[in-house]
Amino acid sequence: MIERVLEAFFRHALLIVLPIIVIPLVVAAALYSTPPQYEAQAGMWVEQATYLTHSDDVNRYLSPAVNQKNRLWELMQTRTFLFGVAGKTSMKDLTTAQNGFEQISAIFARDFDVTAGGEHLLVLRFRSEDRDTALQVVTTIVEMFKSRYAADRYGQAQVAITFYQSRLTEAEAQLVSARSDLAKYLTANPSVAASLTTSGLDAARVNPGFAEAQRQVDIAQRGADSARDSLERAKLDVSAGAESLDLGFRLTDPPQASTTPSRQLKKLLIYPIAAVVLAVVLSASLLMLFALSDHSVRSLADVGPDAVILGVLPHLRAVGVGRRQGPAITRRAVGFVAGAIVPLRSLRGGR
Amino acid sequence: MTGQMVRVSPSRVAAVPDLRPRMPAPKRGWLIPGGDELFRSVYTGFQVGAPTSFAVCSAVSGDGKTTLSLGLALTFAQDLPDRRVVVVETDLWRPVLAQDFGLEPAPGLVDALLDRVPTHEILRPTSLDNLSLVVAGSAAGSAQRLLRSSRMPQVMDELRHMHDVVIVDTPATLAHSEVSLLARMVDDVVFVVRTGVTPAHDLASALGRLQGAKIRGIVVNDARSSVPNWVRRLVRL
């Protein structure tokens, strides 16, 4: 097999080696032909709001930074958010363009990067040929993400408050109704009321009707208390969420842009390496393709172990005949001794 | 007239008979350096002694059957000047000998098979006195039928009687089933494979088709490797 692979390699050496030379060269040329860019970046310190009573929007198994990174990536997929960011920067014109969303998406996919640099640190980067644009974009994303986060949290709390408010109203109505029923029962049964005030007897044990009315009052009271507690917690969330926004989203590194344009180190290193790897894979695939698709006889071993080899003729090359000698020319060159005609245009120097 | 230039028309020149003394054609050498030795090494592999006939076969076309047939015939003729050698072209589908040697296509094998001419008239002389050629001949409508006809063995017998060595250049074995018949009309079969051209499985199929014929052995043609010698030494191929 190794002989076959070597044969295929040297037979198609140029074709196999070419990708390894050309692809990295093309990638390197493409990298150096793109203008250098300014990079703006901001660092945010994010905390999980542990004091909040509800935390349905976070994955407890991920770090706060990763949670927020995922949120930001989701937001970056939305037209509203992207247009909101673009509208506040020099990309404003794209928001009204026909395929503006696609263009803005492509720009952000290429030039924007958000990384979780640990448990809490969220780093936002944007690269642009224009320094101001890079700075504007990062600043706007930070502001919009922060306000969006606050708005979401506030909205959720408001929904919760409304819900628990209605629950409390309903529970209080039930309590009033149960108390009214109990009062009516006591009015209708004065002996029960009297026994409650005069003797120390447990009226509930001796009178099932009173016991049922009393139980309904207790249930309604518990429901009302529970709804009140939930409402209080929701209200606390709203105020805590609003007041702790600065703590949950601390801008540790305000947006800053590089003073000189540069080429991204990632592109300068990874792309050429990726190109080399791709080229090697391509060349190896080509080599294997050539080796495996060659079913012709290449050596005596391919003829068969039992075959009698009468002789081995090398590639016959006639002297004085052009360099390109096809089988017909070779055949005529062999027959030349007996009078075969070698085409005159192929003869050099005569013989 | 002496010293005077006379302008004559080409038609007049053609009319004048060529009265120059006939000079023997200059002896031609091998255009391929060491070619004779190469072909000699092949035929010594099967030791030609008594009058013999053999067919040169291959699995597919382009393997070098005609080249090998000519090379062997030339070496025989040069090495054994007292033997008469003939090369018979039986590839009626792709004849090349007439064109290669600048000969008229007819009369040839087809004409003999159709009984148009006697067998001795289809023999074409070459630069070598003891080497003759039998070209394919006139275009035949049904070449398969001609090669399968009862006349073919007769022609072969006649050629064998007239020559010491009869070399039959056959068509591709896998493309033409007549090859197995031709192979049985001769004493031996020499099989040619061309490196980089003949598929290994075709070789096995072709050898299978020639069962019943006496296959002397295989000649590997155009044996060349693209792997440089230093690499061969390095990996010990």
Quick one: which H or E segment has residue A144?
Answer: helix A131-188
Question: Under an 8 A CB cutoff, do B101 and A298 touch?
Answer: no
In whole angstroms, what is the distance from residue A300 CA to residue B223 CA? 9
Same domain, A214 and A272: no
Task: Give the model's pLDDT for residue B2.
Answer: 40
- Half-sphere CA count of B228, side-chain side, radius 13 A: 5
Give yes or no for A209 touching B (CB within 8 A). no
Interchain contact, B70 vs A338, CB within 8 Å: yes
Distance from CA of B210 to the nearest CA of A (A): 14
- Please give the residue of chain A at the shortest CA–CA distance from B125: A338
Over range A219-238, report the average pLDDT: 87
Residue with tokens 């005159």: A344
A119 in a domain, yes or no? yes
Contact A249, A149 (CB under 8 A): yes
For residue B34, what is the nearest residue in chain A, using CA coordinates? A316
Contacts of B77 in chain A (CB under 8 A): 338
Per-residue confidence (pLDDT) for residue A241, from 0 to 100? 66
**Residue A64 CA to chain centroid, in angstroms?**
17
Q: Given an 8 Å threshold on Cβ–Cβ distance, is A297 in contact with B29?
A: no
Q: How many domains does chain A have?
A: 3
What is the structure's pLDDT at B25?
56
Domain boundary among A239, A260, A291: A239
- Domain that includes residue A340, residue range: 313-351
Q: Are residues A52 and A98 in the same domain?
A: yes
Across the interface, of A299, A311, A342, the residue whose CB is closest to B31 is: A342
Task: Count Cβ atoms below 10 Å from residue A186 Cβ, excluding itself.
Answer: 17
pLDDT at residue A156 greater than cutoff 90:
no
A247 — pLDDT class (breaks 50, 70, 90): low
A270 by Cβ neighbours in 10 Å (0-12 / 13-18 / 19+) ranks as exposed
The rounded distance, in Å, linking the Cα atoms of A55 and A67 is: 12
Q: Classify residue A270: in a domain, yes or no.
A: yes
Q: Which residues 242-261 on chain A approach chain B with CB closer than 8 angstroms?
A: none
Q: CATH second-level architecture of B52-235? A: 3-Layer(aba) Sandwich (3.40)
> Does residue A162 sit within a domain?
no
Q: What integer best gives the mean pLDDT of chain A?
A: 83
CB contact A344 to B (< 8 Å): no
Query: With 70 as the cut, is the pLDDT of residue A244 above it?
Result: no
Pairing of strands B85-89, A249-257: unpaired
Contact across the interface for B100 and A331, Cβ inside 8 Å: yes
Are A125 and A257 within one domain? yes
What does residue A312 show for φ and ψ, rounded to 5 degrees? Answer: -125, 120
**Residue A188 φ/ψ, nearest 5 degrees:** -70, -25
Q: Based on the domain organization, do A275 and A224 belong to the same domain?
A: no
B213 neighbors B180 (Cβ within 8 angstroms): yes
The answer to whether the CB atoms of B70 and A316 lie below 8 A apart is no
Q: Are B197 and A302 in contact (CB under 8 A)?
A: no
3-state secondary structure of A309: strand
Tokens describing residue A68: 């927020």
Does pLDDT of A143 surpass 70?
A: yes
B237 and A330 within 8 Å at the Cβ level: the answer is: no
pLDDT at A246: 66
Distance from CA of B6 to the nearest CA of A (A): 31
A 297-336 near B (Cβ less than 8 A): 297-300, 302-304, 307-321, 327-328, 330-336
- Chain segment B29-85, per-residue pLDDT in tens: 888 888 889 999 888 866 666 668 999 999 999 899 999 999 999 999 998 899 999
Set of chain A residues whose Cβ sits within 8 Å of the Cβ of B78:
337
pTM: 0.60
Residues B67, A341: C-beta atoms closer than 8 Å: no
List the single residue in B with minimal CA-CA distance to A325.
B32
Phi, psi of A145 (to 5 degrees): -65, -40
Does any domain span residue A303? no
**Max avg pLDDT among A185-194, A318-327, B16-25:** A185-194
| B130 Cα to chain A: minimum distance (Å) | 10
User: Which residue in chain A has the smallest CA separation from B96?
Assistant: A328
Which DSSP category does B140 fall into?
Answer: -
Query: How many angstroms away from the CA of B12 is the closest CA of chain A?
Result: 28
Q: Choose from A127-131, A204-208, A263-267, B5-9 the range with maximum mean pLDDT.
A: A127-131
Peptide bond into A261 cis (omega under 30): no
- Domain end point (choices A217, A239, A261): A239
A191 and A323 within one domain: no
> CA A113, CA A69: separation in Å to the nearest integer?
10
What is the structure's pLDDT at B140? 66
B74 to A319: CB separation less than 8 angstroms, yes or no: no
Output the DSSP codes for B7-19.
---HHHHHHS---
Q: Is B229 exposed, middle or buried (0-12, 13-18, 19+ CB in 10 A)?
A: exposed
Residue B91, pLDDT score? 93
**Order of strands, edge to edge, in the sheet holding A121-128?**
A112-116, A121-128, A38-46, A249-257
Q: Which residues of B touch A302 (CB under 8 A)?
A: 200
Kindly give the confidence (pLDDT) of every residue in chain B, 237 residues in length, as a single tens digit, with 9 standing for 90 and above: 344 444 444 444 444 444 444 455 567 788 888 888 999 988 886 666 666 899 999 999 989 999 999 999 999 999 889 999 999 999 999 999 999 999 999 899 999 998 888 999 999 999 999 999 999 988 767 777 889 999 999 999 999 999 999 999 999 999 999 999 999 999 999 999 999 889 989 998 999 999 888 898 999 998 888 888 888 888 876
Give A23-44 pLDDT, tens digit per residue: 999 988 888 888 888 999 999 8
Which residue among B66, B216, B228 sits closest to A10, beta carbon to beta carbon?
B228
Q: Are residues A19 and A136 in the same domain?
A: yes
Does residue A225 share a domain with residue A326?
no
Pair (A262, A123) in one structural domain = yes
Residue A112 belongs to a domain with what CATH number? 3.30.1890.10
Strand partners, A114: A124
Going along B177-214, which residue ranges are E strands? 188-194
Complex ipTM value: 0.83
**A30 lies in the same domain as A139:** yes
Which of B39, B102, B204 shows the shortest C-beta gap to A341? Answer: B102
The answer on A219 and A114 residing in a single domain is no
Mean pLDDT, rounded, for A255-262: 83
Output the pLDDT for position B224: 80
Q: Is A14 on the interface with B (CB under 8 A)?
A: no
**Residue A68: band (very low, low, confident or very high) from pLDDT cuts 50, 70, 90:** confident
Chain-chain contact of A328 with B78 (C-beta, under 8 angstroms): no
Structural domain boundaries in chain B: 52-235
What confidence score (pLDDT) does residue A209 get?
A: 83
From B223, which residue of chain A is nearest by alpha-carbon distance? Answer: A314
**Do residues A120 and A266 share a domain?**
yes
Residue A203 carries which side chain, given as an amino acid letter?
Answer: A
Sort out which chain A residues have CB atoms less than 8 A from B193's CB and list them. 297, 303
Residue B97: closest CA among chain A residues belongs to which residue? A340
Nearest by CB to residue B203, choosing from A10, A297, A335, is A297
